[in-house]
Amino acid sequence: MLEELLLAAALTVGGFLLLQRTLLKMPRCQSAARLEGKTAVITGANTGIGKTTAKDLARRGCRLILACRDRRRGEDAVREIIQETGNSQVIFMQLDLASLQSVRSFANDFLRSESRLDLLINNAGLLNAGKTEDGFGMIFGVNHLGHFLLTALLLDRLKASGPSRVVTVASRAYEIGTLDFKCLTAQRGFGSGDSNFQLLLKYSHSKLCNVLFTYELAKRLQGSSVSCFSLHPGVIKTEIGRYSSFWWRLFVNPLVFLFAMDAESGAQTTLHCALEPGIEHLSGHYFSYCKPKMNIKAEARDDGAAKKLWELSESFCGLS
């Protein structure tokens, strides 16, 4: 009996390791680009995919702005990145995407202190209930609206620094997302209800917003030297669900442990979109596993919905 149990355990571990090395192994960004003289802003860069992306860019010589809400964690990340990469041009700047005033303050401070912007990486995301400072649903406000305003306020600097790129971390969860514009207009978010399942649906809706935003942004950037991309990073072990209920984490965490990839793997498609030469003609596309996805869901290529989302976002942000 003991031998059978040991054999079963060995087969399970072996199968898991094989899975990790095959189906769960992400392709790697192949770019050898150096980034001396370039400047990048990364939101949510104090943890997970964002911090891993920042470390890679720092090793390439980039000047980095870590745009994070939590000052202590942001400054800790700055020290860690400088220590690991030897690049001293890593700076924390406070940004709370749940506050449109904070977004404006960040943009003003950045534009006063930095002469160029080559990469804007809209990486931060959350899965939280509640409302933003401005009364928007938290998931809609942070995952989409805060990044929309940030990009809009920095767009002229991106154009002046071109060729430059905007990279927005979306998710394959967009595939089950929908947009109810009546609900968005009336409730300034994706509706009521904050069960774990409802939060997951709201997250999916926000990721559809990310993909549509990038699609519309590319149209508006035609003729400029700025290209933009959205992406699915993979199923990654991050802290995005750290505020979920105990029972939800009890159910989900074992699945994440078994099947999710680490943050280094999750950063590869972000890095590919940020660094790979010759993909400018794919501006507006959605990437996964370091490749553009051509069979994208029709709702994510809806010209009318993309334009309507842009115009509603402009109205919410006071830009129109």
Q: Which of 203, 243, 286, 289 is catalytic?
A: 203
| 141 closest CA partner among 126, 162, 156 | 126
In one-letter notation, the amino acid at residue 98 is A
Q: Strand pairing partners for 93?
A: 67
- CA distances from residue 115 to 65, 138, 197, 272, 275 in whole angstroms, order as listed: 13, 32, 44, 25, 21
Distance CA 97, CA 147 (A): 7
- Name the region of 59 (left: φ>0; alpha: ψ -120 to 50; beta: rest): alpha
- Tokens for 111? 């534009």
- Sheet architecture: strand order including 119-122: 90-94, 63-68, 39-43, 119-122, 164-169, 226-232, 286-288, 291-292
Pairing of strands 90-94, 119-122: unpaired
For residue 268, what are the CA distances in angstroms to 30, 33, 123, 206, 262? 9, 14, 13, 22, 11
CA atoms in the 13 A half-sphere facing the CB of 104: 6
Q: Exposed/middle/buried for 248, CB within 10 Å: 0-12, 13-18, 19+?
A: middle
286 is catalytic: no
Q: HEC states along 233-289?
A: CCCECCCCCCCCCHHHHHHHHHHHHHHCECHHHHCHHHHHHHHCCCCHHHCCCEEEC
Which residue numbers are catalytic? 203
